Chains A and B, each alone.
Chain A
């Protein structure tokens, strides 16, 4: 199972772009990368998933370089409501999610 490493915390201000980089050096050829968001006392929520290059949806963008040993979640123009914990995960074939510590993003006014 590929282990992920991401910063413990990040601070930002409203309207700024937040980029969270995750390392997954041991990612396997068939593994996908996914990101989840969790607010306090709630279950996580799926944000985005990708295999390579760039994926964009209405919430975020995910950049994955050619070697796939890292990925960057980009949150454009964050607001106070984006304050949450963001988890980077590598998806194994058995679909079991192994959550790391995540990155606590704090958005200030």
Chain B
């Protein structure tokens, strides 16, 4: 089946630093990638939609200058949390959609990245 990886799986950083999270589709070309954030005991919240070669579309309330998304190829999207602060500590999850796959609606999720900002 389709596999999506994320790197790193866990990161701890100091307040004010930037952190980059990679999301890769390993065995398919991802037409669209999505970035979610999940706080403890809460549901996933969509942050942005990323299409290869074009600018990401951010959901209302998500600062695009703080959460930089780059979708440089059909298998890689990156999320950079700039000038991270403790309130940015969360579980960040990406997903990818294979537009040419058997089920174009199905999203394949990565394992998530736990970000802790001290």
Contact = CB atoms under 8 A, between A and B. Distances in A.
Nearest to B36: A99
B49 A96 contact: yes
Nearest to A93: B105
A91 interface: yes
B26 interface: no
Contact of A100 (B43, B95, B104, B109): B43
A96 B34 contact: yes
B interface, over-half SS = strand
A interface, over-half SS = loop
Contacts of A100: 43
A101 B112 CA distance: 18
B106 A98 contact: no
B89 to A, nearest CB: 14
Nearest to A100: B43
Given A91-B105, A96-B34, A97-B107, A43 B93 contact: yes
B45 interface: yes
Interface of A: 32, 34, 38, 41-46, 49, 87, 91, 94-102
Given A42-B112, A95-B32, A101-B43, 7 more contacts: A43-B94, A46-B106, A49-B105, A87-B43, A96-B34, A96-B49, A100-B43
